[in-house]
Structure 1
Amino acid sequence: MAAGTSSYSSIFSLKNSRPPDDTVFYSIYPDSCLSSSSAEDLHSLHLQILNYVQPLTAPYIWQHQPFSLSITPAPVPHLSGHLCFGDNLEDEWFVVHILFEISKRFPNLSIRVWDSDGEFLLIECAFHLPKWLNPETSTNRVFLRSGRLHILPPSIFQETPNLEDALRLLASQDGKDSSTSAPDAVQLHLNKKIGEYPERAYGNVHKVRVLVPVSVAWLLRHEPCLISLSVEGFYDRDIDSMKYAARMERLLPRGKQEEMVEVVVRMSRTMYAQLVQQKFQAPACYPMPERSNVAKYLEAELGMKIACGFEMMYQMRKKQGAEGKGSTWEAFRDSLERSGYFKGLLPGSNKYKTLLEKAEGYYQNSSLYSRARNLKDVDLDVDQFMKDMESVMGLRGSDKNDSDIDLEEGSSSDLDFDDDYEEGSEHADDIDEDGENEFMHSYSDALNKELKATTLDKTFVHANEETSKKKDEGTSNVDDEMEELTPVDVDFNLVKNFLESYSSQEGLSGPASNLLGLMGLRLPDDVGKGK
């Protein structure tokens, strides 16, 4: 069992390979990076930060990948990382909270954080920012330091500062009264948002009881965060990966004879919605209970989706040649090589061995080692495992994270304007109902005229279409310019096209099924066929 479990756990321990869409990026610059500091100092800081944040991140389940840092040697030596948050914005703001806490614990650091949209912290505080600050003028001006947001003003740098000059200025500042500290209104607004964490992030973790094969239970017991890979594999499945789920060769080798166990799984609420909202037929080889026991069947159905997600992710990564390359120690050692830690020494030399032993000591005291040590020689004691499962099930009924999260009081879109807000600006409330109806009628007429000149008009169903046809048969000589325009039946066309889109998905994930799931609706498989 040990050889088998270690082989697929190595694949599951790989870093997430999703493209950087919906991704938050961050860079941590120690003041010492501006001097001739050694690579060893940066590695020491790296491990100190990882160990500091480990208690913060341990109770949390990330949507796609955990918070991580790596050493970047150029252009200025620093620590950097990125995290794909996907559909779960809680991940992004939890990262911001972690970075603020790091800046408080290590005051001699300057931190940058941004996402696919740019400086999203400025977007959050948009109504309180000075007028000169915009996306074009914010380059190398926005940092976190000592638990506060810092904005480098034009009174110090009229032109866009380069990164090293900006870092030197920040390193020379002292305390919250520094000339670079953002206005108090900005700090208060940002602190109100971040102050909800980490409790809000922990409240986003959902517990659910499922029935899964013993191999899947083993994975989730030793590495609970791997649930994110399972949900990703299931939610992003395609025709090729579904072939692996149909056979379940790795995680269900004995088919319906495989031992099934009941476990409590922790996942984000977004993951839970992604699993529940999609209808998925269990593979023929998968053991499912009778539908008469509804509660047990639902537990087994959710567990089946998790198991299939693991199988698809495992097989796809194995196919890509990833097996055996997931060692966190190897990744850590490679980062040391790239950053020049070994100073060009030959492997096997006495000095090289000394540095290697020191690095191993750092690694074994880090959270990386504590997370990975149960994976590279594992012997699964089935009897002890079942006892552990029973102890976990003793927590039945103690779930207090299932309560809904209270909605936050306002956001950046609330009417929280500064003194420069102009009262004469236009609001949606200024448009009365008559004016809105008149606009919509005019818009509809213009749209119909455009459609009449194209074949696109034939793809829409119009109101009173049958009456219109009869009229056309009796007045075929009426000039087209004088023809009565019948409006498009928007509601009917929306529903018709929506159902056709759902039917074309053939049970796979897609826009229509995702939208229906968010609305809490489930349609039969044959909907829209032949209609």
Structure 2
Amino acid sequence: MSIPLQYTREDDLVECFLFPHLCYKSTEEISQDELVSEINKYNNRISKYTHEYIWHRDSLGFQARTKNIIQLNKELDGGARVEDYQLPPHIYASLRFDEDVGDEWFLVFLVMELTKAFDGLIVKLVDSDGEFLLIEAAESLPSWATPQTCQDRVFIYNGEIHVVRDENLSYIEMLRNIREKPTASRMQYGIQAAIQKKIAIYPEEIQNRIHKARVFLPERAIAILKQEPGLIAAALRTVCQSDPLERKVCQAMKYFPPEQRAMVNVKMTRCLYAMATHCRYAGDPRTGWNLPSPNDSCHKPHLLGIKISCGLEMLVARASRKIKQNEDNENKNETEWVAYLKRLTANGYFRNLLEGSQEYNRLLRMAKEYFQSSSRDHSLFGDKNEAHRILETWRNAPHHDIESLSEGRLSPPDNDNWLNIDPEQLHSMLDQQWSSNDRMVDQHPPSIQEKVREFLQHSSDVDGVQFPGQLSKSNDDNSEIRANGDADDTRIDFNADAFDSALRGILDLVVPGDENDFDSNSEGSLGGSEEDKGGELDKYMRLLDSQLEMDLHLSGLREKSNTDTCVEDSTMELNLKESAEGEAGGAGAVGNILGGPIRRLLHLHLQSPSTVPPDLQS
């Protein structure tokens, strides 16, 4: 039986579980060196995509998880369920993307590339929404694909989405079945196409998402960003998410004084540029930023430089405070390590080895290294210790000759008109996003009468009527699966306007010719007063009469233009009318189609209200 991979997840966290073939092909224990070797292969493969990529928050990093590491993680978390870690050895990666969901789909693109390049590699991706890959392809899902049947059974293999339907298999059994019998778990064409459409923008999107701006920065900030360009994301996120208390350190600008500044080109993502543009913080005027007026062409570069510099200032100041805090808490960390070591011993981590033996010392060293790295990663920064990294970068940053930085050598900034979108552009973007290129467009759609006839002739099961929708494309393997009853590509294509028009036409057909059908007993059946009867009911009847006259006139015009069609339509209308009159508002085919509220109206028009069917009595 499959086990949930994680007990809780952050809202902006996506987790990646990579299972190389060596992790499930046999029951032999996998060493950390073997997984590290696989990680090196993966990093080499995707380096051409990631070496210039600016991550919004976390950078992608793979971790080897052997059985020992899984146990260390379980004991460190403490509160998590033991079942959450009953997984085979694997390679793990987590990524927090915050405001830029593009990082999550870039990870999907990288995973797809890895599964195509390495035979036997199977990957699972989950985020706070669960199986977000199936959510993206929700319109193409078969009827059996529900959150219960798909949870923790969605995998990526050879660049395609697979779902294991057998809920009684372990993870190793599921992985083996995917590799040995891929046709049994491969999803149909519509789902594959939806995911491919989402990631088709890569790798071109890597450059398209970059915005180059001119920025007026202090000397030390220029040196840091030149040494590590990716730190621009940490700086802008920090200043945009800071509060007035955190910004107090920017009054002195101890680490990035504004006296020595120069104009430079800085690259950032469009998401970061938009965040910085809409951030209202403009620095402390007492610091000496000398911000030009808003009408000056240098206003934007100066203002953006202030925000970047203040973000770096807050990061370095935060790291300095953390170092001092760690020095004061050494005794506390030692106590936590002792408690952690006791939990490991009690749960058999050291396998009853003799204390001081070579294997015991190796496991002890591994546990201590893991504890220390985890303690740093769970620091107050919450972003893989990036503030400590920037502090080290600040200390080693070389001095730049400001005089040698000529503004005339700079390339022009990118146009930022993409920040403003008019209604026409928004409408076009929505159409492009939600239109399905793979859906076949019928030039001659069936009439309402044909759809009603087809509906009445179709059978239903416990889940309701299954409409014969347009079949999506599939390969030969999926055709075989559908033939065996393992998949269902039927879809419901509901046109609200056409359905509303059909209902109005059916109501018009059953309007009685004699208004005297509503006798004095109607008031008692309807539960309304004489005033309601003479007001709302008469108004409604007059409206139906006018609609009937209009429809009769249009029917005459249609009869002149197309006799055969009118004959067929009239036959259908007569059949519907006869069925409605025969049911008299009670249970029946037409009544079930229209539902209870419409059946009440039919009853009022077709028979005396004094004989209301029991199922319609209120």
TM-score range, shorter chain: 0.5 to 0.7
Match of 1:456 in 2: none
Match of 2:63 in 1: 70
Give the gaps of 5 or more residues in structure 2.
Answer: 1-8, 71-86, 328-343, 351-357, 366-388, 420-424, 440-468, 472-489, 505-618
Match of 1:181 in 2: 186
**Is the CA contact 1:65–1:228 (under 8 Å) kept in the aligned structure 2?**
no
Name the larger-Rg structure.
2
CA distance in 1: counterparts of 2:470 and 2:130, whole angstroms? 23
Match of 2:13 among 20, 23, 40: 23
Change in Cα spacing, 1:47 to 1:182, as seen in structure 2 (3 Å) is: same
Cα deviation for residue 80 of structure 1 reads 1.2
What does 1:64-463 correspond to in 2, within 5 Å?
Answer: 64-73=57-66, 74=70, 75-152=87-164, 154=165, 157=166, 159-173=167-181, 178-252=183-257, 256=258, 258-283=259-284, 284-291=286-293, 294-321=296-323, 344-345=360-361, 375=393, 378=396, 380-383=398-401, 394=409, 396-397=411-412, 407=429, 410-411=432-433, 418-419=470-471, 420-423=490-493, 425=494, 427=496
Give the gaps of 5 or more residues in structure 1.
Answer: 1-18, 326-337, 350-370, 436-531
CA distance in 2: counterparts of 1:320 and 1:428, whole angstroms? 62
Match of 1:474 in 2: none
Change in Cα spacing, 1:133 to 1:346, as seen in structure 2 (3 Å) is: closer
Change in Cα spacing, 1:40 to 1:59, as seen in structure 2 (3 Å) is: same
**Is the CA contact 2:119–2:158 (under 8 Å) kept in the aligned structure 1?**
yes
Change in Cα spacing, 1:170 to 1:430, as seen in structure 2 (3 Å) is: closer
Change in Cα spacing, 1:403 to 1:344, as seen in structure 2 (3 Å) is: farther
What is the CA deviation profile of residues 261-288 of structure 1, one whole-angstrom value per residue up to 9, with x for unaligned ones? 2111111111111111122232212432
Change in Cα spacing, 1:375 to 1:230, as seen in structure 2 (3 Å) is: closer
Cα deviation for residue 239 of structure 1 reads 2.7
**Is the CA contact 1:110–1:144 (under 8 Å) kept in the aligned structure 2?**
yes
**Is the CA contact 1:90–1:201 (under 8 Å) kept in the aligned structure 2?**
no
Change in Cα spacing, 1:429 to 1:275, as seen in structure 2 (3 Å) is: farther
What does 1:28-47 correspond to in 2, within 5 Å?
Answer: 28-34=18-24, 35=26, 36=28, 37-47=30-40
**Is the CA contact 1:288–1:301 (under 8 Å) kept in the aligned structure 2?**
no
**Is the CA contact 1:140–1:161 (under 8 Å) kept in the aligned structure 2?**
no
**Is the CA contact 1:264–1:393 (under 8 Å) kept in the aligned structure 2?**
no
What does 1:446-525 correspond to in 2, within 5 Å?
Answer: none
Quick one: which amino acid aligns to residue 296 of structure 2?
A: V
Tell me the secondary structure at the aligned position of residue 230 of structure 2: helix
Cα deviation for residue 313 of structure 1 reads 2.3
Cα deviation for residue 210 of structure 1 reads 0.3
Quick one: which amino acid aligns to residue 180 of structure 2?
A: S
Cα deviation for residue 96 of structure 1 reads 0.8
CA distance in 2: counterparts of 1:400 and 1:294, whole angstroms? 17
Count of aligned pairs: 366
What is the CA deviation profile of residues 295-341 of structure 1, one whole-angstrom value per residue up to 9, with x for unaligned ones? 2232111100111111122222332338999xxxxxxxxxxxx999x
Flag the structure with more relative contact order, 1 or 2, with Cα contacts below 8 A and sequence separation at least 6. Answer: 1
CA distance in 1: counterparts of 2:93 and 2:271, whole angstroms? 23
Tell me the secondary structure at the aligned position of residue 184 of structure 2: coil
Quick one: which amino acid aligns to residue 83 of structure 1?
A: L
**Is the CA contact 1:288–1:297 (under 8 Å) kept in the aligned structure 2?**
no
Quick one: which amino acid aligns to residue 492 of structure 2?
A: E
Change in Cα spacing, 1:226 to 1:428, as seen in structure 2 (3 Å) is: farther
With structure 1 as the length reference, what TM-score do the two structures score? 0.61
**Is the CA contact 1:317–1:323 (under 8 Å) kept in the aligned structure 2?**
no
Quick one: which amino acid aligns to residue 218 of structure 1?
A: A
RMSD: 3.8
Match of 1:49 among 31, 34, 42: 42
Tell me the secondary structure at the aligned position of residue 266 of structure 1: strand
Tell me the percent identity: 25
Cα deviation for residue 126 of structure 1 reads 1.3
CA distance in 1: counterparts of 2:281 and 2:394, whole angstroms? 34
Match of 1:365 in 2: none
Change in Cα spacing, 1:346 to 1:192, as seen in structure 2 (3 Å) is: closer
User: Mean alpha-carbon deviation: is it higher for 180-189 or for 406-415?
Assistant: 406-415
Change in Cα spacing, 1:286 to 1:165, as seen in structure 2 (3 Å) is: farther
